[in-house]
C-alpha cells in the first residue's frame, strides 16, 4: 500500500487541468475536467481518496461503486457530446490501490459498476475517441480493469512508486506463504509476476515508459514533456484500429507472449475446419 496513493493522481490532474475538483453532483473521489492538450481539448479523469466518502471501504483511493459509476457517467458524457464531431481524447490518470473490498459493495454488485466503467471507456475507444492511460502510481487488479485498462495506449512512469499488478504484495505473499521480500525476489524472476514496472514494460502492453525525476513534484518542463508524450500517443491511437490487438503485436509481446500468438494462429487455422 503506497503512502503516495492519491497524492500523485491529484498532482498530475492539477498539472494538466489547473484545478483539482470534482464535477457538480459527483463524489469528491473522482476528478473530472476538460483542458487543452496539444491543439485540442481533452477530458481528464482521476480517482483520488476521499476520507469522508459515503462508502467506508472506498475512502482511501479504492475504486468503489460511486467511483465506477461516476467514471462511467463522465466518459459516456463525452461520447454523447462528441457524437457528431471530432472525438475528444480521454485521458485516465491512474493511481488506484485496489477495488473496494466491502460487503456493501458486493451486495450492490460492484462487479457491474466496474464493468460499467470499463464499458464506457471501451465504448469510447470503439467510437473513435483516443483513450490514453497514464499510470502515475498504483494500478492494481480490478481497479485497473475498471479505470485505465481499456485504453488504446498506456503510458507509465519509470519509477519505483509505480506498480501495475494483479494482486498487491501483501496479499500475494499471504497466498504463496512467503514474506514480502521473498515474494519480490521470486516474482522478479518471472516477468508477468514481477512488481517492477520495468519488467512489466517487457510484456509489450505499454506504449511508453516515461521518466520524471520526482512524480510527486514535477517541474513545469517535465509537465510539458509528459503532455507532449500524451499528444504523441493520441496521434498514434488515431492512426490505428480501435481494438487492443496492438498489445499482442508489440515487440515485447512477440518475445513474452509467444504462447498467446500461437493460440491465435492455430485457432484461426482451425476455425473454418470441415
Q: Which is nearer to another protein, 110 or 233 (CB)?
A: 110
Output b/e per residue, 71-97; b: 16+ Cβ within 10 A: bbbbbbebbeebeeeebbbbbbbbbbb
Min dist. Cβ of residue 190 to another protein (A): 7
Min dist. Cβ of residue 167 to another protein (A): 6
CA–CA separation, 150 and 134 (whole Å):
12
Residue 69: partners with Cβ closer than 8 Å, 6 or more residues away? 113, 116, 117
CA–CA separation, 116 and 230 (whole Å):
25
Angle CA 4–63–232, to nearest 5: 70
Min dist. Cβ of residue 247 to another protein (A): 7
Min dist. Cβ of residue 128 to another protein (A): 13
Tell me, what DSSP letter sits at residue 22?
A: P
Min dist. Cβ of residue 36 to another protein (A): 27
Tell me the three cell numbers of residue 260: 498467446
Q: Which is nearer to another protein, 113 or 212 (CB)?
A: 113
Q: Which is nearer to another protein, 3 or 268 (CB)?
A: 268
Helix and strand numbers (H, E) in the chain are 11, 7
Residue 246: partners with Cβ closer than 8 Å, 6 or more residues away? 152, 240
Q: Which is nearer to another protein, 106 or 182 (CB)?
A: 106
Name the phi and psi angles at 129, rounded to 5: -75, 130
Q: Which is nearer to another protein, 86 or 126 (CB)?
A: 126
Min dist. Cβ of residue 214 to another protein (A): 26
Q: Which is nearer to another protein, 209 or 223 (CB)?
A: 209
Amino acid at each position: 500500500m503506497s503512502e503516495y496513493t492519491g497524492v500523485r493522481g491529484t498532482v498530475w490532474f492539477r498539472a494538466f487541468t489547473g484545478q483539482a475538483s470534482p464535477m457538480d453532483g459527483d463524489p469528491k473521489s473522482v476528478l473530472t475536467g476538460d483542458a487543452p492538450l496539444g491543439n485540442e481539448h481533452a477530458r481528464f479523469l482521476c480517482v483520488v481518496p476521499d476520507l469522508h466518502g459515503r462508502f467506508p471501504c472506498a475512502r482511501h483511493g479504492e475504486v468503489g461503486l460511486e467511483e465506477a459509476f461516476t467514471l462511467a457517467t463522465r466518459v459516456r458524457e463525452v461520447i454523447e457530446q462528441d457524437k457528431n464531431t471530432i472525438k475528444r481524447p480521454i485521458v485516465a490518470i491512474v493511481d488506484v490501490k485496489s477495488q473496494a473490498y466491502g460487503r456493501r459493495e458486493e451486495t450492490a454488485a460492484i462487479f457491474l459498476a466496474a464493468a460499467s466503467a470499463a464499458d464506457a471507456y471501451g465504448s469510447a475507444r470503439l467510437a473513435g475517441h483516443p483513450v490514453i492511460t497514464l499510470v502515475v502510481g498504483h494500478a492494481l487488479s480490478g481497479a485497473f480493469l475498471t479505470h485505465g485498462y481499456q485504453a488504446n495506449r498506456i503510458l507509465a512512469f519509470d519509477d519505483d512508486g509505480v506498480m501495475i499488478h494483479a494482486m498487491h504484495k501483501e496479499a500475494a505473499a499471504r497466498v504463496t506463504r512467503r514474506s514480502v521480500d521473498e515474494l519480490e525476489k521470486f516474482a522478479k524472476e518471472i516477468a508477468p509476476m514481477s512488481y517492477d514496472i520495468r519488467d512489466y514494460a517487457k510484456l509489450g502492453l505499454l506504449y511508453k515508459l516515461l521518466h520524471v525525476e520526482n512524480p510527486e513534484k514535477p517541474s513545469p518542463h517535465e509537465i510539458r514533456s509528459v503532455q507532449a508524450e500524451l499528444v504523441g500517443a493520441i496521434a498514434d491511437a488515431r492512426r490505428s484500429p480501435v481494438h487492443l490487438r496492438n498489445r499482442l503485436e508489440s515487440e515485447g509481446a512477440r518475445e513474452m507472449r509467444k504462447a498467446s500468438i500461437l493460440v491465435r494462429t492455430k485457432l484461426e487455422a482451425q476455425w473454418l475446419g470441415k
